[in-house]
């Protein structure tokens, strides 16, 4: 006989009653995840200060240089051991969370939490060109999963709590609560519901409150943009957007090729030695490319860097970021890609200024446009990018230009069918995932929500006409404010929200079916 918490009745009853409780749980998750991410962020900041002290010492005491190289090699070995302990700490962690949401991956929350903290601090503290934001999202999500397991929540509720934790992680990492909410909806869960929105808001706001109590109320970037772009310069915004879109295609393609090259190296420690030793070389020759690059954006905002120096900086930062992330070291791509976007924006500004003197004084504008455009092109989450940049700079006065550049940058990779980076990484992760890392089945029933999009294959079809997985059943349909149990002959309409009950074994298959039939716009037939 199944445990009571695995039964269909319990799952459905819990789903119908947990909306307001979920908001309170979001607050708890936000506080817990916020505390974990704040600790992670503080330790990385301390490690960065220590790294600069070490590099300064090495420059004046050359005997210490080989010692530091040996320390970096030892650090690479430690991270390699952590990756052997749990391979799911590799990279940013965002694809792992997306895989968890769709039921394809089951992370051991306590192990990922410990290993990601240690591996992330070592990797970022040694100067690899990685960001803290992806790991913060995974840490927040795993904290939420730990809370869910301790509270013995059903799997349906657990996935919402994991999304709350991811939202809280980004919020605490960037002091960006709205971006945290949008990222949870637009990228992680890829679905909107009142329960998800309200609980993510509660978690993100609470996490941001915890973070601001430690790091203060100032935005992540301290530079101020004092000028609004004149309407006559908006053509440059669109041109920059197209350029950022093309550069986004280059980024995603190069990242995939880099991972392919690393895949040919059979020894995990050797893979990690490459970026760690390069960090030692760059530490004494070209320190600007180390780490995520937060200070670099502040330096770019002064507009004092020459065009040639900017091009060299972009080339080296791009290459080192590819080498760092491709190795599988724990760390994200968020901040490095934003920094590279800022560099490209600054390059465009300096080049355009030669022929358009009217752009004088707008370097800060082009920096944030570059960041938003590059994020949109690579991640394919434009709304999150627009709000994220606004919150990071503390100004919402540039929404129009940020929206224009994000839209243009989004269209270019979409037109050439270049997959979003996290979809690309998730596909690669699932393809090589070992059976012991995949979801552990308990026989529990799961409720999955879906939306009928206008123009999708399911619009206008009967429920019975859709090729649902064999072990699934549509148990609820919301049309406007009305909710009812659909029958086989119920016709689906655009805007309908459906809830499907399925066994854990078919959860991944159900997500793919919902995406194919309900959430993908079908191509127009001739004559329509």
Question: Can you tell me the distance from the alpha carbon of 204 to that of 199, in angstroms, rounded to the nearest whole number?
Answer: 9
Q: List the chain pLDDT tens, one digit each, 528 residues.
A: 445 445 555 555 555 556 678 899 999 999 999 999 999 999 999 999 999 999 999 999 999 999 999 999 999 999 999 999 999 999 999 999 999 988 888 889 999 999 999 999 999 999 999 999 999 999 999 999 999 999 988 888 898 999 999 999 999 999 999 999 999 888 887 777 788 899 999 999 999 999 999 999 888 888 778 788 999 899 999 999 999 999 999 999 999 999 999 999 988 899 999 999 999 999 999 999 999 888 899 899 888 899 999 999 999 999 999 999 999 999 999 999 999 999 999 999 999 998 888 888 899 999 999 999 999 999 999 999 999 999 998 888 899 999 999 999 999 999 999 999 999 999 999 887 754 455 555 557 788 888 888 888 899 999 989 988 888 889 888 888 788 888 889 999 988 888 888 887 778 788 888 888 888 775 554 444
pLDDT at 440: 53
Residues counted in the chain? 528
| Three-state secondary structure call for residue 89 | helix
Going by their DSSP bridges, the two strands 472-479 and 482-484 should be labelled as: antiparallel
In contact, 132 and 292? CB cutoff 8 Å: yes
What superfamily does domain 240-429 belong to in CATH?
Clc chloride channel (1.10.3080.10)
pLDDT at 104: 85
b/e map of 410-437 (b: 16 or more CB within 10 Å)? bebbeeeebbbbbebbbebbbeebeeeb
b/e map of 116-155 (b: 16 or more CB within 10 Å)? bbbbbbbbbbbbbbbbbbbbbbbbbbbbbbbbbeeeebbb
In contact, 369 and 346? CB cutoff 8 Å: no
Question: Can you tell me the distance from the alpha carbon of 139 to that of 113, in angstroms, rounded to the nearest whole number?
Answer: 6
| Three-state secondary structure call for residue 337 | helix
pLDDT at 7: 55
Question: Can you tell me the distance from the alpha carbon of 466 to that of 517, in angstroms, rounded to the nearest whole number?
Answer: 8
Q: Nearest to residue 433, comparing CAs of 199, 86, 42? A: 86
| Ranges of CATH 1.10.3080.10 domains, the chain | 4-215, 240-429
Q: Nearest to residue 305, comparing CAs of 342, 337, 265, 258? A: 342
- Beta strand ranges found along 170-260 (DSSP E): none
CATH number of 443-518: 3.30.70.1450
In contact, 142 and 165? CB cutoff 8 Å: yes
Q: What's the Cα-to-Cα distance from 104 to each of 158, 312, 436, 441, 510, rounded to whole Å? A: 14, 41, 12, 11, 11
Name the DSSP letter for residue 176. Answer: -
The residues with which 499 forms a beta bridge, in sequence order, are 449, 476
pLDDT at 480: 81
Helices (H), 62-193: 64-85, 94-101, 109-125, 133-151, 155-174, 177-183
Name the DSSP letter for residue 328. Answer: T
Tokens 């600790």 sit at which residue?
39
- H or E stretch at 474: strand 472-479
- H or E stretch at 334: helix 334-353
Question: Looking at beta carbons, which pairs linking 269-275 to residues 24 or more positions away fall under 8 Å?
Answer: 269/76, 269/77, 269/80, 271/327, 271/328, 272/76, 272/77, 272/79, 272/80, 272/83, 272/327, 272/328, 272/329, 273/73, 273/76, 274/323, 274/327, 275/128, 275/129, 275/320, 275/323, 275/324, 275/327, 275/329
Give me the phi and psi of 328, to 5 degrees please: 90, 5
Topology given in CATH for the domain delimited by 4-215: Clc chloride channel (1.10.3080)
| Ranges of CATH 3.30.70.1450 domains, the chain | 443-518
pLDDT at 399: 94
User: Would you give the distance in Å from CA 410 to the centre of its chain?
Assistant: 16
Name the DSSP letter for residue 289. Answer: G
Handedness of CA 329, 332, 338, 344 (dihedral sign): positive
pLDDT at 528: 47
Name the DSSP letter for residue 184. Answer: I
């Amino acid at each position: 006989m199944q445990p009571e918490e695995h039964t269909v009745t319990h799952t459905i009853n819990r789903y119908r009653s947990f909306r307001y409780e979920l908001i309170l749980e979001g607050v708890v998750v936000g506080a817990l995840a916020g505390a974990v991410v704040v600790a992670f962020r503080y330790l990385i900041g301390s490690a960065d200060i220590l790294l600069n002290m070490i590099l300064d010492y090495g420059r004046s005491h050359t005997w210490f240089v080989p010692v530091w190289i040996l320390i970096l090699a030892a650090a690479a070995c430690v991270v390699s051991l952590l990756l052997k302990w749990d391979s799911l700490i590799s990279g940013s962690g965002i694809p792992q969370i997306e895989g968890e949401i769709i039921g394809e991956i089951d992370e051991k929350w306590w192990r990922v939490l410990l290993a990601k903290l240690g591996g992330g601090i070592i990797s970022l503290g040694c100067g690899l060109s990685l960001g803290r934001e992806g790991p913060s999202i995974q840490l927040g999500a795993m904290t939420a999963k730990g809370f869910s397991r301790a509270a013995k929540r059903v799997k349906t509720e657990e996935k919402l709590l994991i999304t709350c934790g991811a939202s809280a992680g980004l919020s605490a990492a960037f002091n960006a609560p709205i971006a945290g909410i949008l990222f949870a909806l637009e990228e992680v869960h890829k679905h909107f519901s009142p329960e998800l929105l309200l609980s993510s808001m509660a978690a993100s706001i609470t996490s941001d409150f915890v973070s601001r109590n430690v790091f203060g109320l100032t935005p992540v970037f301290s530079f101020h943009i004092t000028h609004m772009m004149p309407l006559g310069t908006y053509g440059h915004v669109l041109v920059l957007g197209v350029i950022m879109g093309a550069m986004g295609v280059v980024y995603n393609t190069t990242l995939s090729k880099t991972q392919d090259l690393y895949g040919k190296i059979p020894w995990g420690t050797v893979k990690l030695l490459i970026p760690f030793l390069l960090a030692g070389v760059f530490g004494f020759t070209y320190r600007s490319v180390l780490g995520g690059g937060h200070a670099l954006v502040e330096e770019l905002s002064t507009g004092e860097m020459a065009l040639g120096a900017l091009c060299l900086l972009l080339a080296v930062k791009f290459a080192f970021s590819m080498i760092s992330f491709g190795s599988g070291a724990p760390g994200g791509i968020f901040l490095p890609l934003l920094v590279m976007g800022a560099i490209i924006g600054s390059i465009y500004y300096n080049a355009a200024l030669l022929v358009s003197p009217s752009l004088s004084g707008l370097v800060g504008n082009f920096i944030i446009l570059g960041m938003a455009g590059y994020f949109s092109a690579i991640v394919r989450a434009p709304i999150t990018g627009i709000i994220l940049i606004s919150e990071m700079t503390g100004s919402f006065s540039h929404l129009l230009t940020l929206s224009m550049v994000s839209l243009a940058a989004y269209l270019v990779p979409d037109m050439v069918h270049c997959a979003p980076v996290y979809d690309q990484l998730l596909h690669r992760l699932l393809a090589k995932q070992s059976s012991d890392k995949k979801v552990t089945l308990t026989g529990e029933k799961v409720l999955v929500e879906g939306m009928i999009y206008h123009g999708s294959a399911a619009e206008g079809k009967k429920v019975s006409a859709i090729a649902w997985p064999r072990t699934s059943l549509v148990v609820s349909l919301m049309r406007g404010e009305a909710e009812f149990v659909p029958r086989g002959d119920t016709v689906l309409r655009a805007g309908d929200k459906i809830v499907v009950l399925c066994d854990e074994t078919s959860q991944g298959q159900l997500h793919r079916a919902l995406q194919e039939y309900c959430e993908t716009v079908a191509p127009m037939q001739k004559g329509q």
